[in-house]
Amino acid sequence: MPVKVQNGLPARAVLEKENIFLMDENRAVTQDIRPLRILILNLMPLKEDTETQLLRALSNTPLQLELELMRMSSHESTHTSSTHLNTFYKTFSQVALLHYDGMIITGAPVEKLEFEQVDYWDELCMIMDWSTTHVTSVIHICWGAQAGLYHHYGISKYELPAKLSGIYTQRVLDRLVPLVRGFDDVFPAPHSRYTGNRREDILNCSELLLLAESEEAGPFLAMNRNGSQIFIMGHPEYDRETLRQEYVRDMERGLNPQIPCRYFEDDDPKKPVKLSWRVHANTLYTNWLNYYVYQRTPYEFVEIL
């Protein structure tokens, strides 16, 4: 699929080496087609890594996508250069009058804080409210999912006894929902978080459907009944080495982390990682784009620029 990205975005070079077709702005203007416009609100500290992961996950569809990146104006990022942010990212004030076919709100390493203690919480709430009238369907990832469930449905998160990190088996609960079409009965997915949501809180909300869960890791995938709000409690977009990098980082910080569950071969950090979750991750994003974005957004939902 041709994914239109800004000229010079570093993720482009990485993905082109993987034979993923990315289209720059110069080539895109020569094509008479209305691409799906996808907005990514990137709350992760290592923004370039997250850009690459999400672009890879979105690349397995014949639909043409035009991606835009957004950051919080009320928070200063210290792990990504100001040059990168100023070149490739927009703020909410720059997109507030626009409409998008789809949106992704990423996770963020602020789980141990109460939502209201996060310095950009008010701005995030404003963006989530705006998304209900300006975006056809929104995916929320990890802490972003917890934030969305709390803001839209009043569902609280709770702190886990220890960090949940590793590859956990998920079980599909309702195979008739198009979001999990093509999934196996059980499938692996990465998790990396200190907090979670209780399944009973999701099940007790009449507006929500719980679509997949893990006996060990709890709820994994939920959505509202019309598919305009989708919540992923794990990180299916993660690269092969992401959990290793997080484990090494936590070791260097003296946090004495547990070895990520079922991630390293023989649970030995010195051994390779077996990539086992990408097929279902790709299927999840492809189903979202097809059934909840492309087939539901009007052709003239946005002004063609």
Active-site residue numbers? 142, 235, 237
User: How far is Cα 243 from Cα 187, in angstroms, rounded to an integer?
Assistant: 18
In whole angstroms, how far apart are CA 99 and each of 68, 73, 133?
A: 12, 19, 8
Strands (E), 143-197: 158-172, 186-196
Cβ-contact 300, 30 below 8 angstroms: no
Q: Identify which of 4, 40, 10 has the alpha carbon closest to the alpha carbon of residue 24.
A: 4
Element (H, E) at 245: helix 242-252
Looking at residue 266, the DSSP 8-state letter turns out to be G
User: Residue written as tokens 């006894």?
Assistant: 161
Alpha carbons within 13 A on the beta-carbon side of 113: 12
